Amino acid sequence: MRAFKIIGAVVAFAAMGIAAAQAAPGYSTVNLNLRTGPDTEFPRVDVIPEGDPIEVLGCLRDESWCDIVWDGNRGWVFSEYIALDHRGDYVPLPDVGLSAFRIPVVRFAASDYWGRHYVGRPWYSERQRWYRHTPRVRQGWRAPPSGKRSPGWWRSGYQAPKGMRPPERGWKRPDRHRGGAQQHDRRQGDGRHHERRDGRGDNRHDGRHDHGRR
């Protein structure tokens, strides 16, 4: 019996190791909406301030959206606004691709995802509506090329999401020690205001109205 317990513990720790290996550390390069699914129609969880650390758990096959963890919250963000530390430089995730950081390709099933992460949240009462919603193909985005990719390949013909500016080239993480106000001010460069954590605001960071409260 003891042997079975030991084997079970080893398997559990191995599984934890695999999950940890697949969580790539990164940063948000703008004040970025964290959504409950890979579509701007999905309710928003919160706004991730520029420069905040996140953990990337997986991305859709076309790398248009990624499943991440930020400040204890799970949700989806645009991939090109994620910066990864690559050989000493911060680079957009699409520049290097998923395999360089062992980030898995994942799928999204609303019923499973919401059941795991959003029970009790304000928008959970509308879950049946979102279980029926089919995420749209993202406009202005194209799937990455096969094989080796050139940095910035995705910028050709790229269209930034509505209400957002294109990702900055050569982005540097904000100095939180000097710019104290920058740490707390969740306004984007286009002057859009931060919404409340409970999702009751109206001003978006991707040009969409909030579905969190209706």
Helices (runs of H) and strands (runs of E) counted in the chain: 5, 8
Within a 13 Å sphere around the CA of 148, how many CA atoms are in the beta-carbon half? 1
108-118 pLDDT per residue, tens:
999 999 999 99
Residue 35 bridge partners (DSSP): 44, 76
Domain boundaries, the chain: 2-184
Q: What is the CATH number of domain 2-184?
A: 2.30.30.40
pTM for the full predicted model: 0.77
Q: How far is it, in rounded angstroms, from Cα 66 to Cα 60?
A: 6
Residue pair 30/182 in contact (Cβ under 8 Å)? The answer is no
Provide the H-helix boundaries in 35-126.
93-96, 110-117
Residue pair 40/29 in contact (Cβ under 8 Å)? The answer is no
Q: How far is it, in rounded angstroms, from Cα 41 to Cα 55?
A: 23
pLDDT (tens, 9 = 90+) of the chain, 214 residues, equals 444 333 333 333 333 344 444 689 999 999 999 999 999 999 999 999 999 999 999 999 999 999 999 999 999 999 999 999 988 899 999 999 999 999 999 999 999 999 999 999 999 999 999 999 999 999 999 999 988 899 999 999 999 999 999 999 999 999 865 444 444 444 443 333 334 343 334 344 564 544 433 3
